[in-house]
Amino acid sequence: MLDMIIRGGTVVDGTGVPGRIADVGISDGRITTIGEIDEKATRTIDAEGKVVAPGFVDIHTHYDAQVFWDTTLSPSPLHGVTTVIGGNCGFTIAPLGPDDGDYLMRMLARVEGMPLAALAEGVPWDWRSFGEYLDRIDGTLAPNAGFLVGHSTIRRVAMGDRATKGAATADDLDTMRALLDASLASGALGFSSSWARTHNDAAGDMVPSRYASEEEILSLCGVVRNHPGTTLEFIPCVGMFEDFAPELLTRMSLAANRPVNWNVLFVGKGSEAITEHNLAASDYATEHGARVIALTVPFSPSPRMCFDSGFLLDTIPGWEKPMALPHAEKKAMLASPDGRNVLREAALRPTTGFKVSNWSIYVINETFAPENKQWEGKSVAEIAKARGVDEFDALCDVVVADDLMTGFGFPIRPDDDETWQVRMKVWRDSRAVIGASDAGAHLDFLASFNYATVLLGGPVQRGLMPIEEAVNLLTDVPARLYGLTGRGRLETGWHADVAVIDPETVGAQEVRMRFDLPTGAPRLYGGANGIDHVIVNGTEIVDHGEFTDARPGTLLRSGRDTETVTVPGGDRAPGENA
């Protein structure tokens, strides 16, 4: 007798081939049969009229801390995700030195938008090695999960306060290499780092990895090549690539003999020139025997900006330190005419790329003071005109009255077919992979954890892309990039990670604030329609939008649960020029 039969659905196996009506048999956590099944089973799911697909693979999350207070890793599994990869952008909570927990939690609170009180209350911070961290969460999670090692973290552990003061010494680098080596040996899936301008710590200084030289990064990539089943993730810069990016990414790939995926590529009408400019880094890499892949989120999420966190606002030159001030000092600065003038003058300085301080375009989405409710749904320009004041003053008045908690953002415009077509061209490009959800991070700022159901409920339901192709992009493509063994497809003998989808109703639900973090802190949250069942290793973890009590997820460890993905030029001597 089988453990489970999913009967009569259209099996879309993840490879991109046309779906077919078939039963799927499962026993001992693996797929035993795909076809007509006469056997009985302990559990039978009627999938007639539904699509039976591999669970989705999300290779860019920040669930490293959430694993301790929410073992479902919500809301990702509600959207069909069965495997997540954390430890991205250079930010992890392991390894851990005796004096580093406070710095790391404050860095995460600042750069990844995780409430500091939730991190302090919800995370034990009592391990030292990366292996001890993995052991603490092994066997506790609903989905499968694996974690990279973060550069900023190992630099902090190796150098202490000097990690944000400048270059590493030879001894520092030896210590970092040893920390990385031990972490990879214990099962970390790879190495991540960042030079992104948006990444500043709680003091307003650059995060540790931003002080690293190219030689430091390449030396650490060289450690990765010694460990099977590992990979690289990196953020070279924000927006249009600077001249250094293609060569550095290429050298990283060759040093590690691994692909490197970079984050993040936003795609839409009007951004085609930047998109092609950045994707050209992959062409440069290919010419030199390396492999560089753009990680692209398949839609344009509208960020919820807030002065309380200051994220994105701190990219305005001269605003790094003010946005890192303690709450009371920041509020006083925004309430003061002199403080506003300091910020206003800094925001007027010439800058490249999108001008964050274009106050007139923002719309007030959520307010908290009773007198501010009248402004919800209004643009800052409309509020300034109604009150007869300067636009920045109008925004600051609302924000101060709301104790800095005002949520505001860009006006939301529905995506048309032409916009989806522009994005789909990139999804189909071998130089890009879908992902970049950032799930578990930017909790009051960004909601892109729902990328899979937005894709299925958008271009697929519009008839612009066949569901077989969409499922392939959400499952097998990222699984093969990371070398996940036996995952990403529905295939006999493979792990039974399965999503049963109603193709007529699938889509993302409305995103709203939910106050369910440790200490009652809020986060953006939204479920999904049409994801009827989510199964991990043969056990159901989601039943029609509700989590079960099961925690069957595998803690993915490099070499055991992953195979090595190399690059054509990776066999050259380490350190040889690209």
CB 236 within 8 A of CB 245: yes
Q: Which helix (H) or strand (E) holds 195?
A: none
Give pLDDT, residue 303: 85
Per-residue pLDDT reduced to its tens digit, 83-93: 999 999 999 99
Asked if residue 355 has pLDDT above 80, the reply is no
Asked if residue 340 has pLDDT above 90, the reply is yes
Q: For residue 576, name the pLDDT band (cuts at 50, 70, 90).
A: low
Q: Which helix (H) or strand (E) holds 425?
A: helix 417-427
Q: What does the mean pLDDT of the chain come to? A: 95
Asked if residue 351 has pLDDT above 70, the reply is no
Query: What is the reported pTM?
Result: 0.90
Give pLDDT, residue 255: 98
Q: For residue 574, name the pLDDT band (cuts at 50, 70, 90).
A: low
Calculate mean pLDDT across residues 244-256.
98
% of the chain at pLDDT higher than 70: 98
3-state secondary structure of 45: strand
Give pLDDT, residue 352: 52
Per-residue pLDDT reduced to its tens digit, 35-81: 999 999 999 999 999 999 999 999 999 999 999 999 999 999 999 99
Q: What is the rounded CA–CA span in Å between residue 382 and residue 395? A: 11
Give pLDDT, residue 534: 99
Calculate mean pLDDT across residues 496-516.
94
Q: For residue 554, name the pLDDT band (cuts at 50, 70, 90).
A: very high
Least confident of 176-185, 251-260, 318-327: 318-327
Calculate mean pLDDT across residues 94-120.
94
Calculate mean pLDDT across residues 114-121.
94
Instruction: Tokens 């009985």: give the residue.
Output: 40
Give pLDDT, residue 206: 96
